[in-house]
Chains A and B, each alone.
Chain A
Amino acid sequence: MSAPLEREETIIKKLKEQFPSDIKASRIIRRSRPEITVAPEKIQEITTFLRDQLGFDHANGVSGVDYNREARFEIVYHTSSLNNKEMRDLVLAVKESTPRNAPKVPSLVSIWPGVENFERETFEMYAIQFDGHPHMEKLFLLDNWDGPPPLRKDVRVPTD
């Protein structure tokens, strides 16, 4: 079955033509689920290209993944399109990695304004700094929370 993967291959081909050295890896997980891995320095250019040229007009969510054995965090932006009718079931995952001891990546609020609260949540759960975010504060945790970021792998929440 090669015909159903045509859209995904086209998107990845266009991205690789535009940014030949910045797309570190690309993969098609299954139908309508492509993913790319990019460098954090170039993610703003690549996502601007995604939004303006390929029609990815919003982000569905922002996830943080803690690879503590490899000493890095991975941030995943799932993006898709509402305007292009033939692309509505397609979700592209844009991944980037940042070192675990000083996690800092550029914020994408200027490209997709909807990621503001997602990035805030990733910040409070993993303490990943998003550069250029307007309100880098706590979102869901308790007001008197003074512990470490709770979703990191090496954090043990004390039993009460």
Chain B
Amino acid sequence: MSAQKPAQQDEDPLEMLVGGLSVWVGKLNEIVRKVVDETPIRNIINWGRIYSMWPVNITTACCSAEFGAASGARHDLERFGVLPIGSLRQSDLIVVEGTVTKKMAKRLRMIYDQMAIPRYVIAMGDCAISGGLFHDSYSIVNGAHEFMPVDVYVPGCPPRPEALEQAIIMLQEKIRHSKVYSQG
């Protein structure tokens, strides 16, 4: 075989520098991830995430009445840091409140895609778990897990506000025991 000419003879030195730098940045990223996940920094970041879970204002069906009751004065989800907020970009939590029709599933997925990572999903009510009363209907999605990953399921038709509080606490426990970069 004839000797091939080296291709990098006229390479830009700046590109070489950037390439080498990006390798180092990648290694630095790995080091940062390792340090964050294996030291108490993880607990601090998770602590911040646990007590500022802001849900999206999206309602698909009647379980939203129970969500409203849970947000109200008697049950007061805000003591767990759950504060309904208007902006999707600032939200961390999406509570699928009830029946998900096929038309609404598209919109829910769109909202889920717009939220910033980390993002958590609670499927509230029997309809969001399996379709419930409307299982196998012509217009209903059989559960929210068919189009988005679900963290906590809350059974009930509708669930009591206490059940939703329990789900919030379970989600907080889940966040507390998980790594920083693998959430959402």
Chain A: residues with Cβ within 8 Å of the partner, total of 7
A142, B142: Cβ atoms under 8 Å?
Answer: no
Total inter-chain residue pairs, C-beta < 8 Å: 13
Q: CA–CA, A150 to B139, complex, Å? A: 9
> Is there contact, CB below 8 Å, between A157 and B136?
yes
List the A side residues contacting B102 at CB < 8 Å: 142
- Flag whether B103 is at the interface (Cβ < 8 A): yes
Within 8 A of A (CB), among B119-139: 136-139
CA of A141 to CA of B103 in the docked complex: distance in angstroms?
A: 9
> Which residues on A sit within 8 Å (CB–CB) of B139?
141-142, 150
Chain B 99-112, CB within 8 Å of chain A: the 1/0 string? 00011000000000
- Contact, CB under 8 Å: B142 / A150: no
Residues 73-126 of B at the A interface (beta carbon under 8 Å): 102-103
The residue of chain B having its C-beta at the shortest distance from the C-beta of A142 within the complex is B102
A160 contacts B by Cβ under 8 Å: yes
What string of 1s and 0s marks CB contacts (under 8 Å) between A138-151 and chain B?
00011000010010
Q: What's the nearest-Cβ distance from chain A to residue B133, in Å?
A: 15
Is A159 interfacial (CB-CB < 8 Å)?
A: yes
Task: Kindly provide the distance from the CB of A3 to the nearest chain B CB, expressed in whole angstroms.
Answer: 41
Asked, given contacts A142-B102, A142-B103, whether A159 binds B136 with beta carbons under 8 Å apart, the answer is yes
Q: Which of chain A's residues 103-118 have a Cβ closer than 8 Å to chain B?
A: none
A157 touches B103 (CB 8 A): no
Q: Which residues of B contact A160 (CB under 8 A)?
A: 142
A142-B102, A142-B103 as given contacts; A157 in contact with B138, CB under 8 Å: yes
B70 CB to closest chain A CB (Å) equals: 31
In the complex the two chains form, what is the Cα distance from A38 to B154 in whole Å? 50
Cα–Cα distance between A160 and B102 once the two chains are bound (Å):
12
Give the shortest distance, in Å, between A26 (CB) and chain B (any CB): 36
A159, B136: Cα distance in complex, Å = 6
Q: Which chain B residue has the least Cβ–Cβ distance from A156?
A: B136
Beta-carbon contacts under 8 Å, B126-177 to A: 136-139, 142
Q: Are B138 and A147 in contact (CB under 8 A)?
A: yes
Nearest neighbor of A143 in chain B, beta-carbon distance: B103
> Which chain B residue lies CB-closest to A147?
B138
CA distance A40 to B184 in the complex (A): 59
Q: How near does chain A come to B7, taking the closest CB pair, in angstroms?
A: 51
Contact with B along A119-160 (1 / 0, CB 8 A): 000000000000000000000011000010010000001011
Q: Which residues of B contact A157 (CB under 8 A)?
A: 136-138
A-contacting residues of B (Cβ < 8 Å)? Answer: 102-103, 136-139, 142
Which residues of A are in contact with B by a Cβ distance under 8 Å?
141-142, 147, 150, 157, 159-160
Q: List 13 A-B contacts (CB under 8 A).
A: A141-B138, A141-B139, A142-B102, A142-B103, A142-B139, A147-B138, A150-B138, A150-B139, A157-B136, A157-B137, A157-B138, A159-B136, A160-B142
A142-B102, A142-B103, A142-B139 provided; 5 other pairs, C-beta below 8 A? A141-B138, A141-B139, A157-B137, A159-B136, A160-B142
